[in-house]
Amino acid sequence: MASRKRREAFGKLRKLPSGRYQASYVGLDGVRYPASSTFDNATDARGWLALQRVALDSGNWSPADAARTAGRTKARADTLGDFAQDWLRTRVNRHGEGLRPRTRVEYQRLLSGPLAPLAAERVAMITPDMVRSWYAAQLESGTKTQTARAYGLLKSVLATAVQDGRIVTNPCMIRGAQNATTGKKVEPPTAAELQKILDSITPRYRAAVLLAAWAGTRFGELTELRRKDIKIIKNGPEVETIIVDVSRAVTHTTGVGFTVGPTKSAAGVRAIALPRHIHPDVLGHLRDNVGDFPDSLLFPARDGHSHLAESSFVKHWYPARAAAKRTDMPFHALRHYGATRFAQTGATLKEIQDRLGHSTAAAAMRYQHSAGRDIELANRMSDLA
């Protein structure tokens, strides 16, 4: 008479084609949990199941511990590419917000580009030596900054794998790899070069250059500014102060379009006093180039209401910087100019950070305590112009 297959008293046992045994059981939460590894024989597998039953019966079992064990098993099958896609889908910042569209697209680019050689590797099998070999190969390609960004992404993804219990330690252990730079220094324009740019730029963008240079606004902040964000404070008929309220930024992502959202960080929300000598240009721009509605963009696209794309703006910026013989200079260099000029007024490091949006302190309180001195220092900038 043929022998009947033994039915397990607890859990489930399965013999794999390799001859090894896989064990699993259903926890108190109704979820099935597999062992973190397979077994040489059925006796060892049943021994593991017996330990799990003791934990259940004694009250020492928890879904979190069981999930970590199951996670380690799943990690043997998960490739870096698969795990990274789950990471992108579920990633949130410290405020509980998901990735911004532009960030998501950039991460996808890194995963399909420099990180592609590791994508098929199982998460649990990626070693420090493997990461070092990949990193060295990327550096040899000459893309130092991109390699640093890709390494930073890889380290973050695998840090989540550690937190999830899928791997024990993060194999990304290269000191300083995430902070590698090209060593190229951004040189701001001289006063004469800035003046040449202002004289050469398309007139409707003259005020954009002035705000970037003297207020230190980023391009995404600048192109989301609206009439309601410009506060004009008068003393009688005279304009005493102009404050630029920066509270939003716009980004453009291929395939997504323009997205209006928060500034780069909480510190980016700030109130910036403009130096007196640029008041006439800003007021003239509001009069001649900006719609009358509060939500009218300061620097719209040619249609008058859409956001200005950087690819459109550079058609005006490139000839202007070429006229100043500074074809090496990115638009961001104007922000460096503003920081330098503000520092020359005697501003403290904290005041410079506040003005440029580099501090992590709460924005609203910072305006209240520093706005008065910011106006004073902004006026000193006019004396240096």
DSSP letters, 112-162, are HTTTGGGTTSBGGG--HHHHHHHHHHHHHTT-HHHHHHHHHHHHHHHHHHH
Residue 294 banded pLDDT, cuts 50, 70, 90: very high
Q: Is 279 a catalytic residue?
A: no
Question: What pLDDT, on a 0 to 100 scale, did the predictor assign at position 183?
Answer: 57
Better-predicted residue by pLDDT, 83 or 385: 83
Please write the tens of the pLDDT for every residue from 142-198.
678 889 999 999 999 999 888 877 788 899 999 888 876 655 677 889 999 999 999
Whether the CB-CB separation of 49 and 10 falls below 8 Å is answered with yes
Active site residue 276: no
CB 277 within 8 A of CB 382: yes
**332 annotated active-site:** yes
Q: What is the pLDDT of residue 233?
A: 92
% of the chain residues with pLDDT over 70: 87
* Predicted local distance difference test score (pLDDT) of residue 309: 93
- Give 219's pLDDT tier (boundaries 50, 70, 90): very high
More confident residue, 14 or 265: 14
Using one digit for the tens of pLDDT, what is the confidence trace for 26-81?
Answer: 888 888 888 877 788 888 888 888 888 888 888 888 877 776 655 555 545 578 98
Strand partners, 255: none
Identify the pLDDT of residue 227: 96
Active site residue 252: no
When pLDDT is cut at 50, 70 and 90, the band that residue 362 belongs to is very low
Secondary structure of residue 185 in the 3-state scheme: coil
Both tokens assigned to 336: 């460096």
Could you tell me which residue, 257 or 185, shows the higher pLDDT? 257
Neighbour tally for 118: CB within 10 Å: 20
Active-site residue, selected from the candidate residues 102, 104, 149, 358: 358
Q: What are phi and psi of 323, to 5 degrees?
A: -65, -30
Supply the DSSP string of 232-252, one letter for each residue. EEEETTEEEEEEEEE--EEEE
C-alpha R_g of the chain: 29
Catalytic annotation, pick one of 335, 336, 341, 366 = 335
What is the rounded distance in angstroms from the CA atom of residue 111 to the CA atom of residue 142?
18
Give the pLDDT of residue 77: 53
Distance in angstroms (rounded) separating the CA atoms of residues 382 and 330: 24
**Between 205 and 4, where is the model more confident?**
205
CB-based contacts of 358-366 (< 8 A; 24+ apart in sequence): 358/267, 359/267, 360/265, 360/266, 360/267, 361/267, 362/266, 363/266, 363/267, 363/269, 363/270, 364/269, 366/270
Residue 221 predicted with pLDDT over 90:
yes
Nearest-angstrom CA–CA distance, 209 and 318: 12
How far is residue 157's CA from residue 166's CA, in Å, rounded to a whole number? Answer: 12
Q: Where do we find the tokens 């004469």? A: 192
Question: For 247-256, 283-292, 296-305, 321-330, which range has the lowest pLDDT when averaged over its residues?
Answer: 247-256
Percent of the chain exceeding pLDDT 90 equals 39
Kindly state the greatest CA–CA separation across the chain: 110
pLDDT tens-digit series, residues 79-102: 898 889 888 888 876 666 778 888
Q: What is the pLDDT at residue 363?
A: 29
Out of 14, 32, 332, 369, the active site residue is 332
| Sign of the alpha-carbon torsion through 20, 26, 28, 34 | positive
Q: Where are the beta strands (DSSP E) in the chain?
A: 12-15, 21-26, 32-34, 230-235, 238-246, 249-253, 257-261, 270-273
* pLDDT per residue as tens digits for the range 311-338: 999 999 999 999 999 999 999 999 888 8
Give the span between the Cα atoms of 11 and 52, in whole angstroms: 9
116 has a pLDDT exceeding 50: yes
* Residue 94: predicted pLDDT: 65
Look at residue 4 and tell me whether its pLDDT is greater than 90.
no
Instruction: Give this prediction's pTM.
Output: 0.62
Query: Considering only CA atoms, which of 192, 203, 224, 372 is closest in space to residue 310?
Result: 224
Going by pLDDT thresholds of 50, 70 and 90, the confidence category of residue 385 is low
What b/e readout covers 12-50, taking b as 16+ CB neighbours within 10 angstroms? ebeeeeeebbbbbbebeeeeebbbbebbeeeeebbebbe
Residue 25 predicted with pLDDT over 80: yes
Among 65-69, 111-115, 261-265, top mean pLDDT goes to 111-115
Identify the residue with better confidence: 27 or 200: 200
Query: Considering 72, 166, 206, 218, which one is annotated as catalytic?
Result: 218
The angle that helices 144-163 and 101-112 make with each other, rounded to 10 degrees, is 100
Please tell me the distance from the alpha carbon of residue 368 to that of residue 365, in angstroms, as a whole number.
Answer: 5
For residue 198, what pLDDT is reported?
97
List, in order of start, the domains of the chain with CATH numbers: 12-71 (no CATH), 80-179 (1.10.150.130), 191-384 (1.10.443.10)
User: Which of 28, 30, 25 has the alpha carbon at shortest distance from 69?
Assistant: 25
Catalytic residue (choose from 279, 367, 373, 380): 367
The predicted model gives 247-273 an average pLDDT of 83
